[in-house]
Amino acid sequence: MNPSTQLSAASITPETLSTEYVSPAVCSFYETPGGFLGMRLNGEDYPRVVLTRALPLSLPESYLCITDVDRKELCIIENAADFPEDQQALIRKELSQRYFCPDVTAIIAIKEKMGHFYFDVKVGDYPMSFTIRDLAKNIRCTDDQIILTDVDGNRFLISDIGRIDKKSRRKLEPYLY
Minimum Å gap between C-beta 63 and other proteins is 16
Minimum Å gap between C-beta 134 and other proteins is 6
Please say which residue, 44 or 126, places its beta carbon nearer to other proteins.
Answer: 126
Using CB under 8 A, list all residues that contact other proteins: 32-36, 47-48, 56, 96-101, 111-116, 118, 123, 125-131, 134-137, 150-155, 173-177
Minimum Å gap between C-beta 141 and other proteins is 11
Using alpha carbons, list the distances in angstroms from residue 80 to 27, 65, 91, 140. 12, 11, 7, 26
Q: What letter represents residue 95's amino acid?
A: L
End-to-end CA distance of the chain: 48
Please say which residue, 82 or 102, places its beta carbon nearer to other proteins.
Answer: 102
Minimum Å gap between C-beta 36 and other proteins is 6
> What span, in angstroms and rounded, lies between the C-alpha atoms of 105 and 33?
35
Please say which residue, 81 or 176, places its beta carbon nearer to other proteins.
Answer: 176
Q: Decide if 77 contacts 83 (C-beta within 8 A).
A: yes
Query: Phi, psi (5° rounding) for residue 87?
Result: -70, -40
